[in-house]
């Protein structure tokens, strides 16, 4: 048993919410269950909202996390967003890159001094043009996270070339994977040295 009352807010979009996973667990539910099985007293709050961009998240993350962190617990936030801003909207994007960068710095920069923070990069969504934009945004986010000292797990490029991910998205709704796809992401998080709740023997 590991000591402490650990409360994690997972803040992001549909990929945090677990959309497409019949079990409803998503990757966040899987990593939380694995941490509990390894002896951590962990409460997971899933604050993923379908269609959310960095602009939507900037407007809500603080109030929602504040309502969930009690003084007697150790607070953690995992952010994960970026795919939805790269959706084409008429002649532009839902959130063009400069605004997305600004939102990232505002959100992650304000969270980082307050609690433990990680960032899980956006996954590909199965649309070739959008996936190129997501991969580029992912690289930009990774640089920004490095400047802030926040560990960053890139997914966009590595998942895009993984046939198991492609199968999972095909078995899901064409954009979101099924449970097998979320299990792939959960494995990457649990094998990430920055992840707080070590459940994998290395």
Q: Which residues bind a copy of itself (CB under 8 A)?
A: 7, 17, 19, 22-25, 29, 32-33, 36-37, 43-46, 49-52, 56, 59-60, 63-64, 67-68, 70
Phi then psi for residue 82, to 5 deg, are 130, -25
> Shortest gap between Cβ of 121 and a copy of itself (angstroms)?
23
Do you know the residue count of the chain?
A: 202
SS3 20: coil
If the CB atoms of residues 7 and 133 are measured against a copy of itself, the closer one turns out to be 7
Of the CA atoms within 13 Å of residue 90, those in its CB half-sphere come to 1
Q: How far is the CB of 115 from a copy of itself (least distance, A)?
A: 16
Least CB distance to a copy of itself at residue 146 (A) = 30
Q: How far is the CB of 67 from a copy of itself (least distance, A)?
A: 5
Q: To the nearest 5 percent, what fractions of the chain are helix, strand and coil? A: 45, 15, 40
Our CB check for a copy of itself shows the closer of 123 and 179 to be 179
Shorter beta-carbon distance to a copy of itself: residue 89 or 143: 89
The least distance separating a copy of itself from the CB of residue 132, rounded to whole angstroms, comes to 26
Nearer residue to a copy of itself within complex by CB, 19 or 54: 19
Helix residue ranges, H only, 83-178: 97-111, 128-148, 156-160, 163-171
Return d(Cα 78, Cα 67) in angstroms, integer: 16
Q: How far apart are CA 43 and CA 185, in angstroms?
A: 20
Closer by beta carbon to a copy of itself, 20 or else 154: 20
């Amino acid at each position: 048993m590991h000591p402490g009352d650990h409360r994690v807010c997972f803040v992001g979009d549909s990929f945090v919410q677990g959309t497409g996973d019949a079990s409803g667990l998503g990757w966040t539910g899987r990593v939380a269950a694995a941490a509990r099985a390894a002896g951590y007293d962990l409460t997971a709050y899933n604050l993923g909202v379908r269609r959310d961009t960095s602009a939507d998240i900037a407007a809500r993350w603080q109030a929602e996390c504040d309502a969930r962190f009690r003084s007697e617990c150790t607070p953690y936030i995992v952010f994960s967003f970026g795919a939805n801003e790269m959706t084409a909207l008429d002649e532009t994007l839902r959130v063009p890159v400069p605004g997305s960068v600004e939102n990232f710095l505002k959100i992650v920069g304000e969270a980082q001094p307050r609690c433990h923070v990680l960032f899980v990069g956006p996954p590909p969504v199965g649309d070739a043009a959008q996936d190129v934009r997501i991969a580029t945004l992912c690289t930009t986010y990774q640089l920004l996270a490095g400047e802030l000292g926040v560990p960053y797990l890139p997914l966009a490029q590595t998942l895009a070339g993984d046939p198991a991910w492609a199968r999972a998205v095909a078995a899901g709704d064409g954009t979101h994977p099924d449970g097998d796809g979320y299990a792939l992401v959960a494995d990457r998080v649990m094998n990430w040295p920055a992840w707080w709740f070590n459940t994998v023997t290395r």
